[in-house]
Chain A
Amino acid sequence: MTPLTHPSRRALLRSAGAGLTATALAACGDATTAGGRTAIRFFQNKPETVDYVARLVAQFNASQDRVTAVHDSSQTLLVPQFVRNQPPDLAAWNYTLEVSGYVSTGVLTDLADLPEASTVDPKYQALIDQFATFEGQTNVLPFSVAAAGVIYNRRLFEEHGVEVPRTWSALLQACETFRTAGVTPIYTTAQEVWTVQQGLFDYCTGSALDVAGFFRDLRALGTEAGPDAEVSFSAVFADPVAKMLQLAAYSNPDAASRAYADGNLAFGRGEAAMYLQGPWAFGEIAKTDPDLPLGSFPLPMTEDPAQAGVRVNLDLALWIPTASPHRGEARTMLQWLMRPDVIGRYNADNLAISPLRDAAPLTDPRLVDLQPALDAGRIYQGAQTYVPLTIPIGNYLQDALRTGDGAALLRRLDEDWARLAARSAA
């Protein structure tokens, strides 16, 4: 009787090891899929538009037979991907100071030679250069611009006979009218610092001074920056911040403990007349009241209506890292995305602005009042977007809103900026 041969432990371990190695090799194999199509990783994870972009990706894949784009919509950080030298092949992402860091360290490819680069409106391309440039290259192309102003409740404005304010005094007058009528003039959600950063701070400073010029001059000072310099937060931002605190005094009394969700709910219920948020809040407000008539106007900070500006940010911008092994294919997809019909339809469907020259104007009634300022080029990127994350400007703002001390906020900003400059220059 022959004994059953069962594999010895060593043989079992050997085959398991071989199996694991094979799986690992297959997983990190090259990107070529069957049929000769090259696969590229397209990174886009803005939650509100993931489904829309997934459809775009499918359209692109169906429209040609050389490239297969894989839509990576995971909520992963980009920094670790660059550290590991495995960034996406093409990315459509929010253009922030973080991405400008990639520009200035030279890890993104130059797109200036593409014909699509010259179809972009210079005033939107300038938004990219305001953060960082690298040897005169064009490393990032705008794809979708979000415009934000003061959201206002049209019904409440009509009921109380208030017109859309176009000057600072008219704005204060409107706030007084609402306050005496028992309506919260402005709903502030100071518990979540990003809302006061991009709302109160950005709007009040953007409409009152040349934000891009200020930061260009501040950076030029280098280590000489500080609270006593000529170009400093304490000097240039003093008046706008004082006005901001004046405006903030018209907020709901429990602002310090209210969060973004509370703000959307309260505004949707018609408890407040104005809300310093962008179009991303429309969907949230609609969850409470889809029929609420809303509008947006640029916040006026002076008596000159022409100075009121619209806060813009590059919601989606396209770039290709130098570490990508499929740059040619990534460019193919980038060029497809930059087609006027594709980019136009995306922005029209998502309440955003196309960055191309002679792009269609905004038609949504909630945003249409911002168009005149956009046409006149009165746009700015929010001041807080120029401040590196290492300076907790949002927390300083919380303090300022609570104590009413704007000078302390600006001095802390100056001191932190000087320290950062000292570190970077060493």
Chain B
Amino acid sequence: MATTSTGASRARADLGTARTRGERRRAPRRRVDRVSYLFLLPAVLLFTVFITLPALAGAVISLTNYVGFGDWRFVGLANYAVLFTDPNVLTSYGFTLGFSVVTVVLVNAVALVLALGLNARIKLKTALRGVFFLPMVVSGIVIAFVFNYLFSTSLPALATTLRLTGLQTSLLADPDLAWIAVVLVTAWQAVPSALIIYLAGLLAIPEDVYEAAALDGATAWRQFWAITLPLVAGYVVINTVLGFKNFLNAYDIIVGLTDGGPGTSTRSVAMTIFSGFTGGDYAYQMANAVVFFVLTVVISVLQLQIIRRRGVSL
């Protein structure tokens, strides 16, 4: 009797310890407030209704020959099959990707340099910051038309009086050089937004870091390379990812500046997709849009992988 009771009590004791041990091991469960879901609901609903559903509808339409009205039928993957052999589509992808890479690099370099300048101890700092912010305020198509005039008429006229032979013909009329004009104008409009982010990043760097470096005898260039750059690396990443996405969608500036010309040398993917609305080619361009979407997702995922691998904290 004594053995049983001891055995039972030991077993009970074991169970008791186990329970206490288990309870202590288990983390306190966080109670998710239902209200959080309610807060998310409007945004999720709007996103679904206005972005996800139309995108799905477009994807379904890409399998048909629907023009938006009238009779239509399913054509399966015929649109996609033709898409990958269409030289106009392939050149537009090539141009858009190349243009995006060049513009991203240019915008970030210029914006960083400007941010360094506008962060230093200079006179009229606030006024200058306002001036450099202006291009962002003007609409893209307005900028494009003004620069179109400058490149087509003003610059050649100036070059003729100054006798600079290279610039006497309009930059926009040369299919090998028109992309330069597009890059310059897009960069001009995109620099302010990158500039603001870089200014914010620079302001976040505490002054004493620089003081310590100066005490150690670091030159300005060494300070930039060893202190500033690593500390704004996160902001460079933000600007690159956002900028690349925006430049992939380049549309209004190109339309106003060259309209895809001369020839088809500056035709972007967005322009090609848009031409499907009035061109009666809706379903084909929806296929183009689906492919473009997949490409953008792949690029964004790659960019995020690179960020994670380098261990940059956003």
Which residues does A use to contact B, with CB under 8 Å? 77, 79-80, 82-83, 85, 97-98, 101-102, 104-107, 190-191, 193, 254, 256-259, 388-390, 392, 395-396, 398-399, 402, 415-416, 419, 422-424, 426
Contacts and interface: CB of A to CB of B under 8 A. Distances in A.
B156 A257 contact: yes
Contacts of A396: 263-264
A19 B78 CA distance: 50
24 contacts: A77-B277, A79-B68, A80-B68, A83-B69, A101-B67, A101-B70, A101-B280, A104-B70, A105-B67, A105-B69, A107-B69, A191-B261, A193-B259, A254-B169, A257-B153, A257-B172, A389-B278, A389-B279, A390-B276, A395-B260, A395-B261, A395-B264, A395-B267, A426-B75
Contacts of A419: 82, 85-86
B252 interface: no
B68 A83 contact: yes
Contacts of B267: 392, 395
A390 B281 contact: yes
Contacts of A105: 67, 69-71
- Most chain B beta-carbon contacts within 10 A, residue among A85, A107, A426: A426
B212 to A, nearest CB: 56
B278 A392 contact: no
A188 to B, nearest CB: 12
Contacts of A102: 69-70
A402 B169 contact: no
* Range, interface on chain B: 35 or more
B284 A106 contact: no
Contacts of B280: 97-98, 101, 388-390
Contacts of A77: 277-278
B312 interface: no
Given A193-B261, A395-B267, A416-B88, A256 B169 contact: yes
A397 B170 CA distance: 18
B82 A422 contact: yes
Interface string B210-245: 000000000000000000000000000000000000
Contacts of A98: 278, 280
Interface string B255-287: 000011111100100000001111111001000
A424 to B, nearest CB: 7
A408 B251 CA distance: 27
Interface of B: 65, 67-71, 75-76, 78-79, 82, 85-88, 152-153, 156, 169-170, 172-173, 175, 259-264, 267, 275-281, 284
A193 B78 CA distance: 31
B170 A257 contact: yes
B69 A398 contact: no
B70 A106 contact: yes
A395 B275 CA distance: 13
A254 B85 CA distance: 35
B145 to A, nearest CB: 11
Contact of B284 (A85, A254, A258, A390): A390
Contact of B172 (A101, A191, A395, A422): A191
B61 to A, nearest CB: 11
Looking at chain A's contact residues, is the secondary structure mostly helix, strand, loop, or mixed? helix
B54 to A, nearest CB: 13
Contacts of A97: 280
Contacts of B263: 395-396, 398-399, 402
B70 A398 contact: no
A376 B128 CA distance: 69
A241 to B, nearest CB: 16
Contacts of B172: 191, 257
Given A254-B156, A389-B279, A399-B263, 15 more contacts: A97-B280, A104-B70, A106-B70, A107-B69, A191-B173, A256-B173, A258-B152, A395-B261, A396-B263, A398-B261, A402-B175, A419-B85, A422-B82, A423-B65, A423-B75
A82 B262 contact: no
A9 to B, nearest CB: 18
B252 to A, nearest CB: 17
A358 B280 CA distance: 36
B278 A257 contact: no
A381 to B, nearest CB: 18
Nearest to A400: B263
Contacts of A402: 173, 175, 262-263
Contacts of A82: 68-69
B69 A423 contact: no
B79 to A, nearest CB: 6
A85 B69 CA distance: 8
A424 B75 CA distance: 9
Contact of B170 (A104, A256, A390, A422): A256
Contacts of B170: 254, 256-257
A190 B259 CA distance: 12
Contacts of A257: 152-153, 156, 169-170, 172-173
A386 B282 CA distance: 18
B168 to A, nearest CB: 9
A81 to B, nearest CB: 9
B254 to A, nearest CB: 13
